[in-house]
């Protein structure tokens, strides 16, 4: 019995004594576990990244199919292709628009970017040349490009005005992007301006003439104040319009009172 006890005690002691050194292997195995996990994560992420790169390259290669205008011109029957700003799309899924009997057949087999702004199908409009169009008009063509990118498969680029023989964007395409960027900035500025000085409501009737007025949501700008109608000359658009101002804007020289209208009135009637 006593021997057993001793032995048990001894065993116990030996267990206790070895408890401190036992921590090291446990830490070590933890450490190994984490190291292994990290390695696995790195390997998996690398594999995923590789796949993504491969996919991207594949897409890039697919998108790099280059057409000459003569080639593009042949896709107006069974397969229907069109180009806009040098991007070629397969629009075969919509023959009701783009086949020889479709309402928009004049877009098929060519880059008629200009016509996407004018909406006309005359020879002068069925061109990719946007010379003379302002930023807003160029941006409207770019909006159509965005539409096609959402709606149809993009299958290549057209060598010419917007892409060179290597499929690289030309100065013309970069100019389009500059116009789009200008428009974006203008729209942002307009939105900021309208938040502060929202447009008035406006109506005209034969009997009473024109009336402008402010409400707490005129111009689509929901707010906690109503405001007073003022004439504002927009120098970039070179036009005058009615905006709603607050008391704190009354000294701002850009905003002029309407004739025969109280400065504290929320509406003004304008003589014809
Ligand atoms: C600059 C002027 C315009 C351009 C560039 C234009 C261009 C187009 C294009 C490309 C499509 C086919 C879209 C697709 O592939 O799904 C289309 C469809 C259509 N357009 Fe126009 N369009 C213009 C003006 C107009 C106007 C003024 C009207 C009406 C009076 C109109 C009525 C329609 C209609 C009803 C459709 C068919 C929509 C559908 O069935 O999904 N378009 N337009």
Segment 83-106 mean pLDDT: 97
Ligand 1, residue 117: give the atom nearest the CA: 1
Report d(CA 193, CA 212) in Å as an integer: 19
Closest alpha carbon to 165 in 64, 79, 272: 64
Point out the ligand 1 atom lying closest to the alpha carbon of residue 94.
Answer: 15
What pTM, to 2 d.p., does this model score? Answer: 0.72
pLDDT tens-digit profile of 23-50? Answer: 444 555 665 666 666 566 555 554 544 4
97 in ligand 1 pocket by Cβ < 6 Å?
A: yes
The string of pLDDT tens digits covering residues 202-251 is: 999 988 899 999 999 999 999 999 999 999 999 888 999 999 999 999 89
Determine the distance separating the centroid of ligand 1 and the alpha carbon of 119, expressed in angstroms. Answer: 9
Q: Strand locations in 85-222, DSSP E? A: 87-90, 154-158, 201-205, 209-213
Q: Is 228 in the pocket of ligand 1 (CB under 6 A)?
A: no
**Per-residue pLDDT, 26:** 56
Contact of 180 with 139, CB cutoff 8 Å: yes
Asked if 117 and 141 count as a contact pair (C-beta separation under 8 A), the reply is yes
DSSP state for residue 111 in the 8-state scheme: B
CA distances to 26, 31, 228, 241 from 213, rounded to whole Å, are 78, 73, 7, 12
In the beta sheet, which residues pair with residue 213?
A: 201, 267
Q: Is 94 in the pocket of ligand 1 (CB under 6 A)?
A: yes
Q: Whose CA is closest to atom 4 on ligand 1?
A: 119
Structure tokens at 99: 């086949």
Mean pLDDT to the nearest integer, 106-119: 97
Mean pLDDT computed over every residue of the chain: 85
- Top mutation candidate among 104, 111, 112, 148 for ligand 1, by most atoms within 8 Å of CB: 104
**Separation of alpha carbons 251 and 264, rounded Å:** 13
Query: Which residue, chain included where needed, has tokens 């048990």?
Result: 8
Q: Which one-letter DSSP state was computed for residue 137? A: H
The residue behind tokens 């590789």 is 50
């Amino acid at each position: 019995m006593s021997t057993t006890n001793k032995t048990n005690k001894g065993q116990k002691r030996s267990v206790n004594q070895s408890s401190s050194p036992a921590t090291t292997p446990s830490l070590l195995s933890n450490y190994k576990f984490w190291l292994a996990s990290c390695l696995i994560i790195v390997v998996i992420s690398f594999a995923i990244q590789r796949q993504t790169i491969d996919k991207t390259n594949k897409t890039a290669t697919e998108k790099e199919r280059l057409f000459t205008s003569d080639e593009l011109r042949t896709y107006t029957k069974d397969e229907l292709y069109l180009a806009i700003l040098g991007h070629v799309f397969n629009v075969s899924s919509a023959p009701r628009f783009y086949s020889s009997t479709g309402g928009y057949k004049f877009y098929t087999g060519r880059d008629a970017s200009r016509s996407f702004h004018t909406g006309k199908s005359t020879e002068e409009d069925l061109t990719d040349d946007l010379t003379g169009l302002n930023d807003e008009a160029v941006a409207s063509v770019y909006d159509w490009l965005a539409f096609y990118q959402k709606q149809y498969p993009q299958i290549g680029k057209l060598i010419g005005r917007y892409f060179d023989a290597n499929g690289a964007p030309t100065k013309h395409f970069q100019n389009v992007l500059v116009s789009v960027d200008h428009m974006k900035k203008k729209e942002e500025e307009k939105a900021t301006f309208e938040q502060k000085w929202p447009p008035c409501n406006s109506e005209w009737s034969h009997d009473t003439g024109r009336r402008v007025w402010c409400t707490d949501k005129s111009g689509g700008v929901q707010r906690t104040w109503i405001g007073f109608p003022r004439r504002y000359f927009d120098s970039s658009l070179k036009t005058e319009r009615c905006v709603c101002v607050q008391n704190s804007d009354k000294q701002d020289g850009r905003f002029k009172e309407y004739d025969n209208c109280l400065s504290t009135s929320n509406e003004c009637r304008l003589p014809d």
